Amino acid sequence: MTKIDTSRPETVLPTPSHTVGPFYGHALPFPGGGNIAPVGHPDTIAVQGYVYDGEGDPLPDAFLELWGPDPDGNLPTVDGSMRRDPASGGFLGRNGVEFTGWGRVQTDANGHWSARTLRPGARGQSAPYLSVCVFARGLLVHLYTRIYLPGDEAALAVDPLLARLDAERRDTLIAARQGDGTYRFDIRLQGEGETVFLEFQ
């Protein structure tokens, strides 16, 4: 888009861009990125939600990376989330059997994302949680947060991170159980109800 300087009609000036990259959605998502749980595993859970910007509008071009331990709290060491065809180099997705604990999902046109993974087990003194990394336009540095699952209030009450937060901020890290058995976790990048983000040094 250009704008015309009306005092000098022959001059065309560039218009500042309307948004800031980088734009991740073209090369980084891969088929089956949100299908982290092995097919038919009894401890499979579905987690879904929306990513919202500071104005409360959904982001259609964000993506999330999710990591989680297995139901026993062990961190998987299996490779293979992004298998490629050796001949064509194309993505084959997952093998559907092994649990790598890692996935990558993109938001759709409505800012919605979803993933299927195994219910994480507790590790150390922490209540069970999934780690999340958020990438989106305008974020020059990606953001880290956690998804805690409701149900074990005793574990949530003594979690070292949650115990340091007031109730309102704490609730931004706990998913809500839906009537259909899924968990909903919305991410708000700024403004009212902003999700708690973590800084690692």
Q: What is the DSSP annotation of 42-79?
A: TTEEEEEEEEE-TTS-B-TT-EEEEE---TTSPPP---
d(CA 163, CA 171): 11
d(CA 193, CA 9): 47
**Mean pLDDT over each residue of the chain, to the nearest integer:** 86
Which residue type, as a one-letter code, is found at position 3?
K
User: Which residue did the predictor score with more confidence, 153 or 23?
Assistant: 153
Higher per-residue pLDDT: 31 or 151 = 151
What integer pLDDT is reported at residue 10 of this predicted model? 57
Q: What is the percent of the chain where pLDDT is above 90?
A: 64
- Calculate mean pLDDT across residues 178-183: 94
Note the pLDDT tens digit of each residue in 6-34. Answer: 555 555 555 555 555 666 655 667 778 89
* Beta carbons within 10 angstroms of residue 129's beta carbon: 24
121 or 20: which carries more pLDDT confidence?
Answer: 121
If DSSP codes are grouped into helix, strand and coil, which group holds residue 172? helix
Report the pLDDT value the prediction gives residue 14, as an integer from 0 to 100.
Answer: 53
Residue-level pLDDT at 31: 73
* Over residues 55-73, mean pLDDT: 94
Q: Which two tokens stand for residue 119?
A: 């219910």
